[in-house]
Amino acid sequence: MTRTAAVVGGGHTRWGKREATWKDLAQEAGKEAFDDVPGVGPSDIEGLFVGAVQPERFAFQSHVAPLVAELLGIDVDSMIARTELACASGQAALRYAWLAIAAGQLDTALVIGVEKMNLPDDHTEEMQSSMMNVVDREFDGVNGLNAPSYFSLIAQRHMHEYGTTKEQLAAVSAKNKTHAASNPYAQFQKEIDVDDVLESYPVAPPLNLFDCSGITDGAAALVLVSEEKARELTDTAAYITGSGQSCMASNSINNLPSLSAWPQATVAAEQAYEQAGIEDPVEALDVAEIHDCFSISEIVEYEDLGWVEKGEGGRFVEDGRSALDGDIAVNPRGGLLGCGHPLGATGISQALEIYRQFAGDVPDARQVPDGPETGLIHNLSGSASVHSVMTLARDPQ
């Protein structure tokens, strides 16, 4: 049995450095999700899927899926799970809920991602050390690799091979942070330009401070239902039309197939496109939320998601093709660079943005023109060893 599943609403906390606890964030997002979807309450949830990367390290709490059920008053009678896939944990939770509904195991699920990353008393060193658990800690971690240094290697190699410029990197950040300025949930809400990025503090050359996403507390939630139930609940939904995922046995950076390309992203995208019946993604997609943890990431993803030829990603943003009125509106919520990146919540926030773009329920300053009908979300995780892609549409196939 194969059925279509749809996002019919969701909830979002304010992202940033929050005084709120992990529990507080889960309750905020869950309550807003139920408030957003009339006709669905805690008693209607059959399956609960929680994306959370390191609550054990950040919040000193394990076994968090039953904890969320208790906090939100949900008696789960069919399926409950926590997903952990580093920065793709949220999309993994969404993917599993989609598969459960497609298989006929559930009709209604709550998907929620929560991360509390800012530790008490500003223990930045402990937080950064914990972040390195997502790569091969015994090899990469002890040799000083962290996220900025890894992505600086990607940027340096891409610039060497293809002539990508710092100005093109900066254009990604300026675009996304400016979008975030009108997002009430975003961590960073200030319009900036390319010069602001270029003049920000150097972190890991060629990456400056504004080329890097933040350390973020936050949560987001989605209500996912079967197509039949979606039609009962709303005239506006985001139907999942395809999903792909790929890992190329490369948790350590010494085993990565490339430092300027992510073939895993290409494989995952092709899987999703085939399921969704997409032959030309630039022609087919109206809006996309992709994983801009660093500005170079978005440029590489333009290429490896099949939107432009290899080496042309810098020109794609420079020419305005990823602007709101461009070929594909990329990261209108502000992306990771503008919104921040609470690891387990990011993929869920991305899907919620696609739903709200379809519904026209975002501020005019970042609404994609002409009523978008199709969208995509993308996450990478770890040392970009895993890539996850999902396509959505206002109408099912």
The string of pLDDT tens digits covering residues 194-228 is 999 999 999 999 999 999 999 999 999 999 999 99
Reading the block at residue 6, the tokens are 């749809």
Map tokens 């000083």 to a residue.
Answer: 144
Average pLDDT on 328-342 reads 98
pLDDT of residue 257: 85
The string of pLDDT tens digits covering residues 14-71 is 999 999 999 999 999 999 999 999 999 999 999 999 999 999 999 999 999 999 999 9
Average pLDDT on 105-129 reads 84
Domain ranges for the chain: 5-121+215-233
The single residue of 158, 179, 341, 378 carrying the catalytic annotation is 341
pLDDT-derived band at 383 (thresholds 50, 70, 90) equals confident
Edge-to-edge strand ranges of the sheet holding 238-247? 79-83, 47-51, 108-115, 218-226, 5-12, 238-247, 386-393, 374-381, 287-289, 329-330
**Which of these, 343, 278, 281, 347, lies nearest to 118 by C-alpha position?**
343
The residues, any chain, with a CB within 8 Å of residue 218's CB and separated by 6 or more, are: 12, 13, 14, 15, 16, 18, 25, 114, 115, 185, 187, 340, 342, 345, 349
Q: Is residue 158 annotated as part of the catalytic site, yes or no?
A: no
pLDDT of residue 125: 66
Reading the block at residue 281, the tokens are 């993604």
The string of pLDDT tens digits covering residues 168-197 is 999 999 999 999 999 999 999 999 999 999
Average pLDDT on 151-163 reads 97
pLDDT surpassing 90 at residue 248: no
Reading the block at residue 135, the tokens are 């790569």
Q: Is residue 341 annotated as part of the catalytic site, yes or no?
A: yes
Average pLDDT on 304-312 reads 98
CA angle 207, 208, 213 (to 5 degrees): 85
DSSP annotation of 214: P
- Provide the 3-class DSSP secondary structure of residue 276: helix
The helix-helix angle for 147-162 and 295-304 (nearest 10°) equals 50
Reading the block at residue 120, the tokens are 């008490």
The single residue of 87, 212, 293, 339 carrying the catalytic annotation is 87
The string of pLDDT tens digits covering residues 255-283 is 888 999 999 999 999 999 999 999 999 99
**5-121+215-233 is a CATH 3.30.70.20 domain:** no
pLDDT surpassing 60 at residue 1: no
pLDDT surpassing 70 at residue 158: yes
- Give the whole-angstrom CA distance, residue 152 versus residue 212: 10
pLDDT-derived band at 122 (thresholds 50, 70, 90) equals low
